[in-house]
């Protein structure tokens, strides 16, 4: 079988019964089930959710995005073999550990296939909850330009690139464009302070000020769980992004949960421990792919400068990357997934056909 055939690049065309348009993000597509199917699955599968909770099928793809663009390869490879399965396997592993440590639940109710989550609708907190244990990436770029305040937090002088910070820093940004919040620019993904959140907690979708403390606690505890486990594998957990939301359980209790994905190579930086101790950074995350793109193109400013977005999108559309590049990324994702989960990832020959069969035969969601 052709390698390109094993890649699930298009994931918004499955014949799942829905009552709303399919929402397709950079990597995942969301199929909102009909009310009748949602209620039937809640009864049949015994999910701990409100009887009328809207459910969705979330299907991951092997697409790879970087610098807000989707990239493709030669030979019709419109994604990275194994990437979707690796991301889901890693997230599933961390979500399970979070529950075992008594932290919080996630939006995932069941995992019928390595590419598929059955999820409940959550009311999202409108914050990209970013935490950093090392100074690198965009933070380092700002630091060497003289910035010493990040999200309202003062940073010490004299730090070196890739150095461990004295404490875990929470540097949140907005999720989407939020309007009418004093002191918060109306643009996507803009840095905010703890004071911004505290003074306008309802605008960020928090139920109460106490829940801001709860979100920070879950963020730190989640970071520590992942960091401790990665340390056992001699891997360094550098920084990551969490997302949170509210759901209601079968008893009518509303609770704050983890959403989206956690601790993956897409949402985090993970460094190889032995290499780091020798003074060099080896990325076991998408950051390696970003660096590769910056080195691949003669004018990296196109990728870093948001005012050149039209040129950047043209670059991604018009340039098929060498197959070797995508296979290198594939190895990175599969290796770190197998390290974390302790299991070999077996890639499906035809993931789309498998998904359709399972959702039709076991869940009755395909006519």
Residue 300: inside a domain, yes or no?
Answer: no
**CA atoms of 16 and 364, how far apart (whole Å):** 9
Which CATH number covers residue 356? 3.30.200.20
pTM confidence score: 0.94
3-state DSSP helix/strand/coil % of the chain, to nearest 5: 35, 25, 40
**CA atoms of 334 and 346, how far apart (whole Å):** 10
**CA atoms of 245 and 128, how far apart (whole Å):** 11
Residue 34: inside a domain, yes or no?
Answer: yes
Residue 253: inside a domain, yes or no?
Answer: yes
User: Does residue 213 share a domain with residue 118?
Assistant: no
Residue 289: inside a domain, yes or no?
Answer: no
* Bridge-based pairing state of the strands 254-259 and 235-248: antiparallel
| pLDDT above 70 for 2 | no
Q: Cβ–Cβ contacts within 10 Å for residue 100, how many? A: 9
| pLDDT above 60 for 247 | yes
Burial tier of 216 (Cβ tally within 10 Å: 0-12, 13-18, 19+): middle
What contacts 24+ positions apart, CB below 8 Å, involve 38-45? Answer: 40/364, 41/118, 41/363, 45/109, 45/110
Residue 3 pLDDT:
65
Which CATH number covers residue 138? 3.30.470.20
| pLDDT above 80 for 33 | yes
Residues 81, 327: contact at Cβ < 8 Å? yes
Residue 320: inside a domain, yes or no?
Answer: no
b/e sequence 217-226, b meaning 16+ C-beta within 10 Å: ebbeebbebb
Q: For 169-219, what is each residue's pLDDT tens digit? A: 999 999 989 999 998 999 888 999 999 999 999 999 999 999 999 999 999
* Residue 306's pLDDT band (cuts 50, 70, 90): confident
| pLDDT above 60 for 1 | no
User: Does residue 253 share a domain with residue 133?
Assistant: yes
How far from 17 is each of 14, 22, 36, 57, 366, CA to CA, in Å? 9, 10, 10, 10, 6
* Residue 348's pLDDT band (cuts 50, 70, 90): confident
* Residue 367's pLDDT band (cuts 50, 70, 90): confident
47: left (phi over 0), alpha (psi -120 to 50) or beta: beta
Residue 178: inside a domain, yes or no?
Answer: yes
Residues 131, 161: contact at Cβ < 8 Å? no
User: Does residue 153 share a domain with residue 48?
Assistant: no
**CA atoms of 259 and 122, how far apart (whole Å):** 8
With CA atoms as reference, report the closest residue to 241 among 320, 172, 185.
Answer: 172
With CA atoms as reference, report the closest residue to 38 among 15, 12, 18, 14.
Answer: 18
User: Does residue 248 share a domain with residue 178?
Assistant: yes
* Residue 30's pLDDT band (cuts 50, 70, 90): very high
What end-to-end distance do the CA atoms of the chain give, in Å? 29
User: Does residue 254 share a domain with residue 147?
Assistant: yes
User: Does residue 179 share a domain with residue 65?
Assistant: no
User: Does residue 148 share a domain with residue 70?
Assistant: no
Residue 346 pLDDT:
87
User: Does residue 138 share a domain with residue 117?
Assistant: no
**CA atoms of 162 and 3, how far apart (whole Å):** 36
Residue 302: inside a domain, yes or no?
Answer: no
User: Does residue 196 share a domain with residue 143?
Assistant: yes
User: Does residue 175 share a domain with residue 261?
Assistant: yes
Q: Cβ–Cβ contacts within 10 Å for residue 71, how many? A: 23
Host domain of residue 137: 123-228+239-266
User: Does residue 129 share a domain with residue 97?
Assistant: no
SS (H, E, C) 1-63: CCHHHHCCCCCCCCCCCCCCCCEECCCEEEEECCHHHHHHHHHHHCCCCCCCCCEEEEEECCC
* Bridge-based pairing state of the strands 149-150 and 235-248: unpaired
Q: Cβ–Cβ contacts within 10 Å for residue 75, how many? A: 12
Q: Give the number of domains in the chain.
A: 2
| pLDDT above 80 for 5 | no
User: Does residue 197 share a domain with residue 80?
Assistant: no
How far from the centroid of its chain's Cα atoms is residue 306's Cα?
21
- Non-local (6+) Cβ contacts of 162 within 8 A are 134, 135, 136, 140, 276, 281
Residue 322: inside a domain, yes or no?
Answer: no
b/e sequence 140-174, b meaning 16+ C-beta within 10 Å: bebbeeeeeebbeeebeeebeebeeeeeebbbbeb
């Amino acid at each position: 079988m052709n390698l390109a055939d094993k890649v699930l690049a298009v994931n918004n065309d499955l014949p799942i019964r829905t009552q709303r348009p399919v929402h397709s993000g950079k990597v995942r597509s969301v199929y909102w089930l009909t009310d009748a199917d949602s209620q039937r699955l809640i009864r049949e599968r015994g999910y701990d959710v409100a009887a009328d909770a809207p459910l969705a099928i979330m299907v991951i793809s092997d697409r790879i995005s970087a610098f807000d663009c989707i990239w493709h390869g030669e030979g019709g490879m419109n994604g990275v073999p194994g990437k979707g399965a690796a991301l889901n396997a890693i997230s599933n592993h961390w979500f399970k550990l979070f529950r075992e440590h008594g932290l919080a639940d996630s939006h995932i109710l069941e995992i019928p296939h390595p590419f598929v989550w059955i999820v409940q609708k959550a009311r999202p907190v409108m914050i990209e909850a970013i935490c950093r244990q090392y100074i690198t990436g965009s933070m380092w770029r700002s630091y060497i330009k003289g910035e010493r305040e990040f999200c309202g937090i003062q940073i010490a002088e004299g730090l070196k690139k890739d150095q461990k910070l004295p404490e875990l820093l929470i540097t949140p940004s907005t999720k989407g464009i939020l309007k009418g919040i004093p002191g918060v620019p109306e643009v996507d993904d803009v840095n905010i302070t703890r004071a911004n959140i505290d003074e306008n907690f309802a605008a960020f979708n928090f139920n109460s000020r106490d829940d801001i403390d709860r979100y920070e606690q879950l963020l730190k505890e989640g970071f520590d769980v992942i960091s401790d486990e990665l340390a056992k594998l001699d891997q360094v957990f550098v920084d990551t992004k969490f997302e949170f939301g509210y759901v209601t359980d079968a008893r009518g209790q509303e609770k704050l949960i983890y959403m989206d994905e956690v601790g993956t190579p897409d949402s985090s930086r993970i460094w190889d421990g032995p290499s780091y101790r020798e003074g060099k950074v080896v990325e076991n995350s998408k950051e390696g792919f970003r660096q590769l793109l910056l080195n691949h193109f003669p004018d990296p400013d196109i990728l870093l400068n948001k005012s050149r977005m039209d040129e950047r999108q043209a670059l991604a559309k018009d340039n098929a990357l060498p197959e070797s590049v995508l296979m290198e990324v594939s190895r990175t994702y599969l290796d770190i997934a197998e390290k974390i989960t302790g299991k070999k990832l077996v890639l499906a020959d035809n993931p789309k056909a498998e998904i359709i069969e399972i959702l039709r035969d076991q869940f009755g969601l395909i006519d």
